[in-house]
Chain A
Amino acid sequence: MTTNIKRRVFLKGSLAAGTVGVAVGAGLLTPQAVLAAWPKPAFEAKSVDDALSAAMGSASNSASDSIKIKAPDIAENGAVVPVSVATDMSGVESIALLADGNNTPLVATFNLGAGAVPDVATRIKMGKTGDVIAVVKAGGKLMSARKSVKVTIGGCGG
Chain B
Amino acid sequence: MAKSIKIRAKIKGDETTVKCLMTHPMETGLRKDKKTGKAIPAHFINEVVAEAGGKTVMTAYWSGGISKNPYLSFAFTGAAKGDEVKISWTDNQGGSDSETAQIK
Do A115 and B55 form a contact, CB below 8 Å, given A38-B47, A107-B62? yes
Give residues of chain A (110-125) contacting chain B, Cβ–Cβ below 8 Å.
Answer: 110-117, 119-125
Q: Which residues of A19-67 have CB atoms within 8 Å of chain B's CB atoms? A: 27, 30-31, 34, 37-39, 43
CA distance A37 to B67 in the complex (A): 22
Q: Residue on B with the closest CB to A110?
A: B60
Interface size on A, residues (CB 8 A): 44
Q: Is the CB of A111 within 8 A of B60?
A: yes
Q: Is the interface of B mostly helix, strand, loop or mixed?
A: strand
Extra inter-chain contacts (5) besides given A37-B59, A43-B63, CB under 8 Å = A5-B41, A43-B61, A110-B60, A112-B58, A122-B73
A residues near B (Cβ < 8 Å) are: 4-5, 7-8, 27, 30-31, 34, 37-39, 43, 79-82, 84, 99, 102-104, 106-117, 119-125, 155-158
Q: List 26 A-B contacts (CB under 8 A).
A: A5-B38, A31-B94, A34-B90, A38-B47, A43-B63, A79-B67, A79-B68, A103-B30, A104-B65, A107-B62, A107-B66, A110-B60, A111-B58, A111-B61, A112-B58, A113-B55, A113-B59, A114-B56, A114-B76, A117-B15, A119-B75, A122-B73, A124-B65, A124-B67, A125-B65, A158-B31
